[in-house]
Amino acid sequence: MASTADFRNGMVIIFKNSLFEIVEFQHVKPGKGGAFVRTKLKNVRTGHVIDNTFRSGEKVKEIRIQKKKMEYLFNDGVNFVVMDPVTYAQIEINEELIGDKKFFMKENTEIALFQTEDEIIYIELPTTVNLEVVECEPGIKGNTVSNVTKNAKLETGLEVQVPMFVNNGDTLKIDTRTGHYIERV
């Protein structure tokens, strides 16, 4: 158990039966009444941020989260298999936990796995990934300057809007946070 005096940015606590990361906190000692701590808490699973006030000295349960670099190997149809590059131990991750991140996961992609002692909480992808275009309309000569876009399907199944000059077989840099095209590689 930790008290409000132990709060620090990045600390993960159990609050309302969910895991929350402390994004910001401020100890407040008003002239009248008891001291308290104002916090901004980010839900670890959903990413939603809430504001909450704790009484000074209030106890909360701190959870230790371990970040581990892993390498994505393959999808066996049900689970995503990742490997620890140091010990070569393989772990299967359920597709529900991966969610839409599967569209950015190419074989041999390095990811970060965040886990408590008994469960994997979430995965973190690199900021950008390079993916190959497998299906799009052919580029038209002369359309390189305008900001007209077309739909392109990438090797992982992700569909993005790309400039007209992009063709099948091109490799594109994609932002994993937004899912948008950045540049042709």
Strands 90-94 and 159-163: unpaired
User: Percentage of the chain surpassing pLDDT 70?
Assistant: 96
Confidence category of residue 146, pLDDT binned at 50, 70, 90: low
Confidence category of residue 116, pLDDT binned at 50, 70, 90: confident
Q: Name the helix (H) or strand (E) containing 75.
A: strand 66-75
Which domains, and CATH codes, for the chain?
2-63 (2.30.30.30), 66-124 (2.40.50.140), 128-184 (2.40.50.140)
pLDDT digits (tens, 9 = 90+) for 18-55: 889 999 999 999 988 899 999 999 998 788 999 999 99
Maximum C-alpha span of the chain? 73
Q: In this predicted structure, what is the pLDDT of residue 148?
A: 80
Mean per-residue pLDDT for 138-151? 70
Sequence-distant (≥ 6) Cβ neighbours of residue 1 within 8 angstroms = 59, 60, 61, 62
Which residues in 24-56 are b (16+ Cβ under 10 Å) and which e? ebeeeeeeeeeebbebbbbebeeeeeeeeebee
- pLDDT higher than threshold 60 for residue 143: no
